[in-house]
Amino acid sequence: MELIFSAMAARGMALEINPGFEECLPGTRLTRMARDFGVAYFCVGSDAHRLSDLASGLDRVQVQLDKLKLGVATFRRRHVVLLDKPRNPGIK
């Protein structure tokens, strides 16, 4: 995983976090590992298969982001846009 997360960090890629059915995917352990290897951007996805499930479980994602002190980003025209100020002191 170190190789993958280091490559993501070097390319400015984001890790997408989905709420899953009972816990976030990836979970806290892998998300923390990504952060520790320099991944600076985290996006939130719903992974919904029905319109009625579109925002389901996003509260779990917010809890995980808060626990790890991470902000949320999106991309517009292939450029990162921070939606929430990153709380990781290593990220500017």
Query: What distances in angstroms separate CA 69 from CA 43, 50, 53, 55, 58, one per listed residue?
Result: 14, 30, 26, 21, 16
Q: What is the pLDDT of residues 49-73, one digit of tens each?
A: 888 888 888 888 889 988 998 888 8
Instruction: Please answer whether residues 41 and 68 qualify as being in contact, where contact means their C-beta atoms are separated by less than 8 angstroms.
Output: no
pLDDT score for 53: 82
From the CB of residue 40, how many other CB atoms can be counted at a distance below 10 Å? 22
pLDDT, tens digit (0-9, with 9 covering 90-100), for 5-56: 999 999 989 999 998 878 899 999 999 999 999 998 999 888 788 888 888 8
| 83 CB burial (10 A radius; 0-12, 13-18, 19+) | exposed
Domain-by-domain residue ranges, the chain? 2-82
Handedness of CA 26, 28, 33, 35 (dihedral sign): positive
